[in-house]
């Protein structure tokens, strides 16, 4: 049976803000566990802010993300055979107590819960999952849980799967496999058909994901860039004392791009042009720049709009 994925138009997370929750005393033990909370946090940061998620741009322009924060919960621990409902209760309790932030207005937050080594989900068959619950304000709270076999690579690979599936299909209504694509039950998503083929991106272990564009499982990463990249994006002419606005779109949000405007009409008398830039994040992955150019002279002026892309986005931790 061929693998085909279709976007059914439901919710997606365009620009994920991941909040990490380390659940259980074991995460705070001395000596610290393997992996440590710091190691997991570093891996997730590498996953969400490196090139790995850039391949999701093919799915409605989903982009990268960043770590919103983290907390370690020592007041309770997950039981062997924990349930989704228990995870949801944990998250809602932390939100209600003000321990972790509530949903952002655009609902781009993903709460990601990490369990201690050896603690399994109910039934034991699943090692990670993402889903949602509905809070008292009728908002859908997106969350994932990730189990832990004591190796950083496995935790990182499971998390990469769950975070990207949360972005493309947080509620089971968006990017889904056509009937017959998956053999198992539940939501058939872009990580499910690629389990077992992994790689390393930005120093983190990750799972490959289905690329509908390529019709195969791919470990997404940045293409090769050589910075700085410079060029003329467009040229134009302004009548005397005219101001006009242009836009240019589909600029990767992971580029740091700057704009200048240069007259190509000689004038020995004085300044000719001014410009200003407005910015729009048209999707998680892409930016539109709106460039307003003003001719200060009383004669027509030709000009170039030049870009300088100096480097890759680096959100830090």
What is the token pair recorded at 272?
A: 């000719």
- Nearest distance, CB of residue 269 and another protein, angstroms: 27
- Binding-site residue total for another protein (CB under 8 A)? 32
- Nearest distance, CB of residue 60 and another protein, angstroms: 10
The residues in 52-71 that bind another protein, with binding defined as CB under 8 A, are: 66
- Nearest distance, CB of residue 216 and another protein, angstroms: 28
Contact flag: residue 228 with another protein (CB under 8 A):
yes
Contact flag: residue 283 with another protein (CB under 8 A):
yes
For another protein, the binding residue among 199, 281, 304, 306 (CB under 8 A) is 281
- Nearest distance, CB of residue 254 and another protein, angstroms: 10
- Nearest distance, CB of residue 293 and another protein, angstroms: 14
List, as one string, the DSSP characters of 265-303: S--SSS--EEEEEEEEE-SSSEEEEEEEEEE-SSS-EEE
Contact flag: residue 224 with another protein (CB under 8 A):
no
What is the token pair recorded at 290?
A: 């709106």
Contact flag: residue 178 with another protein (CB under 8 A):
no
Biggest CA–CA distance in the chain, Å, is: 80
Helix 37-49 vs helix 152-168: angle between axes, to the nearest 10 degrees?
40
Contact flag: residue 11 with another protein (CB under 8 A):
no
Q: Which residues neighbour 103 within 8 Å (Cβ) at sequence distance 6 or greater?
A: 109, 135, 139, 141
- Nearest distance, CB of residue 137 and another protein, angstroms: 17
Distance CA 294, CA 131 (A): 50
The residues in 238-277 that bind another protein, with binding defined as CB under 8 A, are: 247, 253, 256-258, 276-277
The CA-atom distances, in angstroms, between 290 and each of 6, 117, 152, 244, 259 are: 32, 50, 43, 10, 10
Contact flag: residue 314 with another protein (CB under 8 A):
yes
What are residue 188's phi and psi, to 5 degrees?
-95, 110
The site for another protein (CB under 8 A) is made up of 14-15, 66, 104-106, 227-228, 247, 253, 256-258, 276-284, 287-288, 290, 310-316
């Amino acid at each position: 049976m061929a693998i085909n994925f279709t976007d059914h138009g439901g919710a997606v997370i365009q620009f994920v803000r991941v909040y990490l929750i380390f659940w259980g005393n074991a995460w705070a033990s001395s000596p610290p566990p393997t992996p440590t909370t710091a190691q997991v946090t570093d891996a997730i940061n590498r996953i969400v802010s490196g090139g790995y998620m850039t391949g999701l741009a093919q799915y409605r322009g989903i982009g990268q993300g960043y770590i919103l924060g983290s907390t370690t919960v020592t007041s309770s621990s997950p039981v062997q055979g924990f349930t989704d409902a228990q995870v949801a209760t944990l998250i809602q309790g932390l939100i209600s107590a003000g321990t972790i932030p509530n949903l952002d207005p655009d609902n781009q937050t993903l709460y990601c819960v990490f369990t201690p080594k050896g603690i399994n989900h109910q039934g034991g068959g699943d090692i990670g999952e993402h889903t949602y619950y509905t809070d008292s304000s009728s908002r859908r709270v997106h969350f994932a849980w990730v189990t832990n076999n004591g190796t950083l690579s496995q935790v990182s690979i499971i998390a990469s799967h769950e975070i990207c599936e949360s972005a493309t299909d947080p509620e089971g209504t968006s990017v889904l496999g056509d009937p017959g694509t998956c053999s198992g039950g539940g939501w058939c998503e872009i990580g499910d058909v690629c389990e077992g083929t992994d790689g390393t991106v930005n120093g983190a272990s990750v799972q490959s994901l289905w690329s509908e564009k390529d019709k195969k499982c791919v470990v997404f990463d940045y293409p090769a860039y050589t910075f700085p990249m410079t060029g003329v994006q467009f040229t134009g002419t302004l009548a005397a004392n005219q101001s006009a606005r242009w836009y240019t779109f589909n600029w990767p949000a992971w580029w740091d791009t700057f704009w200048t405007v240069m007259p190509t009409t000689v004038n020995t008398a004085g300044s000719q042009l001014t410009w200003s830039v407005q910015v729009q994040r048209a999707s998680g992955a892409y930016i539109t720049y709106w460039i307003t150019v003003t001719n200060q002279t009383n004669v027509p002026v030709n000009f170039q709009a030049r870009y300088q892309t100096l480097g890759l986005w680096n959100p830090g931790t």
